[in-house]
Structure 1
Amino acid sequence: MPDTSKVTRTSPAPPRSHESWRDFYARTEGFPHRDLTEQAVALAAGQPAKIAVDAGCGSGLDIPYLRSQGYTVYSYDAEAAAIEYCRERYGDDPGVHLQCASFVDYRHPRASLVLAHRSLFFCPPSQFAAAWEAITECLPAGGVLSVDMLGVNDSWAREPALNVSAFTQREVEQLLVPFDIQLWQITDEPGTTLQGLAKHWHFFTAVACKR
């Protein structure tokens, strides 16, 4: 396991109670793709097919970069507003496939790269095991996963109405046993949301290659 002491600042997606998803997507327009996406693409360079799954794609911030790198992108989100927003931006691109679906309902294609950025913790705990299996099983040996997992110290983990999936560091490490971790970051600090609301962030970020 790489060094677990590193702390980084990011801004995961908002909970449903704070504002409409459509308003949130509009706030993120113009944001760049994450540096993690570039690192994941570099790690997946040896894969024979350039197929990427963007799980819980939100406003699709990573889609343009993935397409610029020659990837066919399969993006899905349980929020209809997300898919509507992405269709407005990317619907004319035949290399982008969009679908409104949950983590467990989506039929994941065989992929060389899966991004689950700031999204997977919105999977209800009762469905998480099935969602995790579906995501990890679509990757071959050498396939790359880039993922954020919510920690138990996060403010959202203490809001039962949000029904998020939150984990201890040990639990995340156990989930990642089938992978060789190339990047590992921990955030556990006070901060604010994009709306300026105070909250405590706690999440684990990993970029890893499947064994």
Structure 2
Amino acid sequence: MNNRNIWQDYYAKALARPHAPRTAVAARLNHSGILTAIDCGCGTGSDIAYLAELGYQVHGFDINADAVSICRERFAKQQSIQISQASFDEFEYPDCGLLIANASLFFAKPVSFSRLWQSITQSLASGGVFAGDFMGVNDSWAEGYRSPITALTRQQVLALFEHYEVIEMHERDEPGSTLLGRSKHWHTYSVVAIKS
């Protein structure tokens, strides 16, 4: 099965999923006064749909053309939603009160991750919320994956949040499977944090 078919199968399954519970938590914690959200690696748009219902202006982006096509069709009639095809490096981050990066920051280029994180932090208003995942070094994708992966230690993840109040940080380090049912070892850090 080629890479394109894998992503198509993934998105077909992802369309059936509701928004992430962590996205609801993050939206409740946003005290920035800014109802603008960014969904990094938006996939099929489950979090976008939820945030738009809450009254957010949502900017979603994904590098995968299939994901972008699905979202553009799904949200064609909603003026409060903007969908872009872009990488982390290409996207222009607007000022926001909420930034979601569920299972996407793994795929940011390691060589430009520091610059990306600076862009994310600068885009978030004081009192705004980051909610997302980072890949740990024990993950089976951390080395030898088909594209470069940014894998971080616990200390490296915590260092990113020097100017934030970390509300929750959950570490997963266990065998599991992907959405498509393939076995792998997961090592991730899931973080919700409020920018100071």
**Would you call these one fold, judging by a TM-score over 0.5?**
yes
Q: Is the 8 A contact 1:83 1:98 kept in 2?
A: yes
Q: Distance in 2 between matches of 1:97 and 1:183?
A: 29
Q: Is the 8 A contact 2:166 2:194 kept in 1?
A: yes
Structure 2: stretches of 5+ with no match in the other structure: none
For the pair 1:127 / 2:112, whether they are aligned, the reply is yes
Please state whether the residue corresponding to 1:103 is helix, strand or coil.
coil
Which digits, 9 at most, give the CA deviation of each residue in 1:179-202, with x for residues without a partner? Answer: 100111010000111222110000
Q: Is the 8 A contact 1:40 1:207 kept in 2?
A: yes
Q: Distance in 2 between matches of 1:91 and 1:18?
A: 24
Q: Is the 8 A contact 1:152 1:202 kept in 2?
A: yes
Q: Distance in 1 between matches of 2:141 and 2:5?
A: 15
Q: Is the 8 A contact 2:9 2:180 kept in 1?
A: no
Please state whether the residue corresponding to 1:170 is helix, strand or coil.
helix
Q: 1:94 aligns with which of 63, 74, 79?
A: 79
Q: Distance in 2 between matches of 1:98 and 1:76?
A: 6
Which digits, 9 at most, give the CA deviation of each residue in 1:98-144, with x for residues without a partner? Answer: 10111111111100000011001101111211211111110111110
For the pair 1:36 / 2:22, whether they are aligned, the reply is yes
For the pair 1:55 / 2:7, whether they are aligned, the reply is no
Please state whether the residue corresponding to 2:174 is helix, strand or coil.
strand
Identity among equivalent positions (%) equals 38
Q: TM-score, normalised by structure 1?
A: 0.88
For the pair 1:77 / 2:62, whether they are aligned, the reply is yes
Structure 1: stretches of 5+ with no match in the other structure: 1-15
Q: Distance in 1 between matches of 2:169 and 2:85?
A: 30
For the pair 1:202 / 2:187, whether they are aligned, the reply is yes
Counterparts in 2 of 1:1-211, with a 5 A limit?
17=3, 19-44=5-30, 46-211=31-196
Please state whether the residue corresponding to 1:67 is helix, strand or coil.
helix
User: Structure 2: which amino acid aligns with 1:196?
Assistant: G
Q: Is the 8 A contact 1:104 1:134 kept in 2?
A: no
User: Structure 1: which amino acid aligns with 2:62?
Assistant: D
Which contiguous aligned blocks of 4+ residues in structure 1 show a shift greater than 2 angstroms? 16-20
Which of the pair has the greater relative contact order for Cα pairs under 8 Å at 6+ separation? 1
Over 3 Å counting, the alpha-carbon distance change for 1:18 and 1:174 in structure 2 is farther
Over 3 Å counting, the alpha-carbon distance change for 1:147 and 1:134 in structure 2 is same
Which residue of 2 is the match for residue 13 of structure 1?
A: none
RMSD: 1.4
